[in-house]
Each structure stands twice: as C-alpha cells, then as structure tokens.
A = this chain, B = another copy of it.
C-alpha cells in the first residue's frame, strides 16, 4: 500500500503531502482540493484536481478536511469499496460514507503553518472498519512514525478532549503568564527553563505526584497574595477555579 490520494488543502493535508513527496517508499498519486492556492507552492499543478470525477486509482484515500465536511466529501467520491480514512481527532469513523471501507489515520500533534513537522515523533491513532485493512494501514503509517496506536472512535474522542487540556489549555496558561510579564516589564524568556522542567518532570513522575505550588500545599496566605495581584476579575476567577481543582484532586489522592 503505497499509492495515496490526499483530499484537502489545509494544514494537516499540506504536512502530509510534504512528507509523502519526500518519502521514497510512498507515491502521491494526486491531490483533490477545491482551493489549491496554498498547495501550488509545494506541488506541481498537474498533481492537483478539483473535479471528483477525475480522482485517480490509489491504494489509500486520506480525507484531511474540516470535521463538518467529511460526510459530504466522502459521499462525493466516485468509487466504492476502497480504503478511505480521515485524519480527525473528534469525528467518528462513521462520518465517512459507508460505500467505502472506512478508517481513521489521526496524527496526534499540533500543526503550525510553515513549520515542518517531524512525523517520526508523532503518534498515529489508527482505526479501520475491517480487520484486514488494519494491517495495511498500520504498515503504511510506519513510514511516518513508529508510534502507532490502535484506538477506537470512542477512545479517540477522549484523546481529543485530553489534548485540549494538555495542549490548548496549557498554551493558554502560557498566554496568561506572558500577559502578566508584559504588564510588569518582565521578559517571558525567564520562564522557559521552568516550563521545560515542568514537562520533564512527568517523564519520571505521574502529573499528580509532580504537582507543586500554593494550591497543593494549601498555602492560603500565598493564594490570597496572588489574588490581590490580579486585576482582571476573569483571570482571578480562573486562578480560584484551578486552585480549587488542584485541591480536589489532591484530596482524592490522600
């Protein structure tokens, strides 16, 4: 299984296209894209179509479009009984039209435009409708990364939810820290080693064991001092809520 058609032109599609083009074991047969503006920079025009009826024969069709478009795009495919996968963290396998053999090929990573992804360090969450397709999809995925996991649609929903906490919400904690720094003329760089060590710690400890700070120590004096420093009422509320949540988890632990 080496001949691939990519459907989509967004962030994930672009990163997959660039990887497949650079990999000698894989062959990018074609790209279907309604909007090929961004793609022209990375592939020849002749590889791109915007006409469903022109989509070529391949071993695997990867739909990398927004969750809401998966159903429509997969319905428009002009063939049946082929292996068609999507790349979404939150859409079910059944979002794909049932006329094809369905699957999921979900790279668990945060993709940034114009920043190359090292796929060898990206975990892939795989799922197929039919057992016989799993082996092929797994073999295909190992061209990208050794980190390949069999994950059901049900589990994947929770992975996507957890990813929001560990990545999106974590980044928001950085945003708030950065704002506090800007207001007080402190270079945000000063926090980079602390942030890296916070991440390194969970290589050796579970996150609940790694918890430090005033909330887990129940240091109400420091908590009060911090609340007094925060002018923004919404951020104050957030500080209180997360502090309470840390206390709750710690009580459970004891």
Contacts and interface: CB of A to CB of B under 8 A. Distances in A.
Given A164-B213, A176-B245, 11 more contacts: A108-B194, A110-B198, A112-B204, A121-B193, A147-B190, A147-B193, A162-B181, A166-B198, A167-B197, A169-B213, A192-B202
Given A162-B180, A181-B162, A222-B90, A122 B174 contact: no
Contacts of A170: 170, 173-174, 195, 198
A248 interface: yes
Interface in A189-226: 190-199, 201-208, 210-216, 221-222, 225-226
A90 to B, nearest CB: 6
Contact of A207 (B125, B174, B203): B174
Q: Is the interface of A mostly helix, strand, loop or mixed?
A: helix
Interface of A: 67-68, 90, 108-110, 112, 115, 121-123, 125, 147, 149, 151, 154-155, 157-181, 183-187, 190-199, 201-208, 210-216, 221-222, 225-226, 229-230, 234-235, 237-239, 241-242, 244-246, 248-249
